[in-house]
Structure 1
Amino acid sequence: MPEQLDGAPFWPLFAFFFGIVLLRTQLTYWAARLVTAWSLDHTRPQRPWVRRVHDWLQGEGAARGVRTVERWGLVAVPLSFLASGTKTVVNAAAGVLTMPFTRYLPAMLLGCVAHATIYATVGWAAWSAALAAATGSPWGIAAIVAVVMLAAAAIVVRVRRRRASVESSSD
């Protein structure tokens, strides 16, 4: 988060988090909807990013989101903003199922308001407190550095595996 918002009043924090989540959920919905349409037109997408999204949409996470939207309908969209790890799969499922945008938009905006409210109040305060506690000790700093290094290593391994599988499938 930008330094200017650290210790900021509620409304600037709300606007910051609302903007972030609005952009993220719109990108997720439209990418899933676009890749679904392209996948129906083409059996195997050729663009690398479309192929990655296509492969993700074929996975269990997206299937879980589709089942949730099929079971709960439109209510699943705003509720997905209240539980960790559900926004992406539910909003992608709404795109996969080509939920009409005129119905999706109000539900998504309601979820964005809930998300921004949570993060502008207790969510950001909890994150700030945890980060301050971790960086206040040498062990906390070491733990943060270790987590960042592990995440970077995992990304490198994943990219290399993906490249190897793409190269082997093109042979």
Structure 2
Amino acid sequence: MDWISQQPFALAFVLLFVIVMLRANATYWLGRGALNGGRLSKKMARHLEGPTMLRAQRLSARLGIVAVPLSFLTIGVQTAINFSAGFTLMPLRRYLPAVIVGCLLWALLYSTVGMVGFAAIGALWNQITG
């Protein structure tokens, strides 16, 4: 993250957007694969029935398509929501616009407030270990 924080804002924003877009879509396709006969390990099967996944499914059911972009503003539910979208076969014509909005929000948040936070933690660490 240090390298990204040293880049101009526009470049940092684009890099973060691409990173989160790749991650979110990979998670969506993993969900699709799990539904369509992908072999799941026992550990993965437990995650599909775990509390985070159940919370993600309830959020998706309650908020529908809005759950995808909103998940990018949360901690701990984002991956489960994207996996759930794939697992429940959310159509790409709905998922892609929603995930683009979510990724834009995430990239904006991390390229502004997030980078300031990382810089502050790094400065504090340097003071402590200094």
Q: Scaled by the length of structure 1, what TM-score is found? A: 0.69
Opposite residue 126 of structure 2, the aligned amino acid is T
In the alignment, what sits opposite 2:5?
A: 6
The corresponding residue for 2:116 is 125
**How far apart are 1:23 and its partner, in Å?**
1.0
1:106 aligned partner: 97
The residue aligned with 1:92 is 83
Q: Distance in 1 between matches of 2:92 and 2:116?
A: 34
CA distance in 1, matches of 2:33, 2:95: 15
Q: Which runs of 5+ in 1 are unaligned?
A: 40-44, 142-171
Decide whether the 8 Å contact of 2:52 with 2:77 is kept in 1.
no
Q: Deviations over 1:95-126 (max 9, x none)?
A: 12111111100000000000001111111111
Higher-RCO chain (CA-CA 8 Å, sequence separation at least 6): 2
Partner of 1:21: 20
For 1:17 and 1:113, how far apart are their aligned partners in 2? 9
Q: Equivalents in 2 of 1:96, 1:6: separation in Å?
A: 35
Instruction: After superposition, give the CA deviation of every residue in 1:17-69 in whole Å (9 maximum; x if it has no partner).
Output: 10111111011111011112216xxxxx3xxxx31433321222111111110
- Give 1:35's aligned residue: 34
Listed as ranges, the gaps of 5+ residues in structure 2 are none
Percentage of pairs with the same residue = 37
Provide runs of 4+ in structure 1 moved above 4 Å: none
Q: Which amino acid is the alignment partner of residue 115 of structure 1?
A: W
TM-score, L = length of structure 2 = 0.90
C-alpha RMSD of the superposition? 1.7
Q: Report how many residues are paired.
A: 129
